[in-house]
Amino acid sequence: MEKPQVDDHAFQPATWEAVEAPDTPPADREPPPPRLWAAPSALASLPPELGAACLGNLQYEDLCSLACTCSALREAAEDCLLWRREWQREFGEAGALQEAAAALAGGWKRLFAARHAVQLESYPWIRPSAFEVAAAVDALVALPPRARPAGSSAAHAEGEPEWGLEGEEVALCLVFLMDGSSSVHDQDFQAMKDFISRAVQALEAAPHGPRSRVAVIQFSDRARVEQGPVAPDPAQLEALLGSLCPLRGCTCTGLALEKAGDLLCTLGRSAHGVLALLTDGQVSYPQSVAAATAAARLAAQAGCSVRLHGFGVGRGMDRESMLRIIGAGKPAGASDRYLDLMVLDDA
């Protein structure tokens, strides 16, 4: 049987060149559907600045849909600046902490996706992504820049303490201040414990871990030292945290800050103090002022450099009060030293 003749040209792949079609299709055939892939997208053809302006008006759902259309628009829709802007729309200001978290995540789109997934899972609670927690822990256990040699001619910023030891890294003392007042629920208190455990594990693994110390202070209307400055030992700390119960009472953050200053002053001028304040921030205005005053005096009281970080835990978080306290001694970058760990905003 003779084989049928096949036109080889009938199986050639479609080309990008425009094919001139007759003005009127044959009467016995339907007109072909428009071939949208035969020419570049009009949006992709725009100058970069105009295209970026158009994409900047899209929500994250639209950016994801646009990325499915073609490779050119997928590359445009995954631009980090677009997803950073989308982060700011959805979750608020993007500061140094979020920049560090985006670097850990591998880009702003991945950080946005991680935070969005946590938000869906934990609503109505506000929780950070794992990348934000990791960035906050890294900042918490980090040493300051290398100390200047004593007597260096380099000018010091106003209020910046002299480091004292020539060219040596300063030891770090990490003091956790746990809010055990009546406004803190058991779930909130457990969230504090979990974060402290993670931070101490990170400090132990850090190069300067062996030269560091950890202390825990719980406070309400009084301040109690649960653990004095000791070498970071996650197992020992787990046992301590497991035995802790909230003190209950009103919130006197200033007492906890003064107690922390007393602990730090025993470590010498070469130490670098880092305070992690875990609280719902619910204090009266006079107590807030007293706490801010105590925070501003910390460096002078402790006789060493002190850095204060804040972590919101609980219901009805008073962020304004918290930022006032952690920024009292060092106002610059106060918002970068704050993170909502587990917060339920009042309706």
CATH of the domain at 316: 3.40.50.410
Closest CA to 172 of 229, 217, 211, 228: 211
Taking only the tens place, the pLDDT of each residue in 12-37 is 333 333 334 444 445 555 555 443 33
Is there a single domain that holds both residue 88 and residue 233? no
Is there a single domain that holds both residue 182 and residue 317? yes
pLDDT at 168: 43
The answer to whether residue 11 is domain-embedded is no
pLDDT at 36: 36
Is there a single domain that holds both residue 72 and residue 137? no
Q: Half-sphere exposure of residue 41, counting CA atoms within 13 Å on the CB side?
A: 13
Six-digit token string for 167? 């060219």
The answer to whether residue 303 is domain-embedded is yes
pLDDT at 10: 40
Instruction: Quote the number of domains for the chain.
Output: 2
The answer to whether residue 163 is domain-embedded is no
Six-digit token string for 41? 């997208």
User: What type of residue sits at position 4?
Assistant: P
The answer to whether residue 26 is domain-embedded is no
Q: Which residues of the chain have pLDDT under 50?
A: 1-25, 33-39, 147-170, 347
Helix 253-264 with 285-296: angle, nearest 10 deg: 10
The answer to whether residue 299 is domain-embedded is yes
d(C-alpha 120, C-alpha 130), whole Å: 14
Please list the alpha-helical segments (H only) found in the chain.
48-55, 60-66, 71-77, 80-91, 96-105, 108-122, 130-141, 186-205, 234-243, 253-264, 285-296, 298-302, 319-326
Q: What is the largest CA-CA distance in the chain?
A: 104
Which domain does 97 fall in, by range? Answer: 48-122
Is there a single domain that holds both residue 140 and residue 235? yes
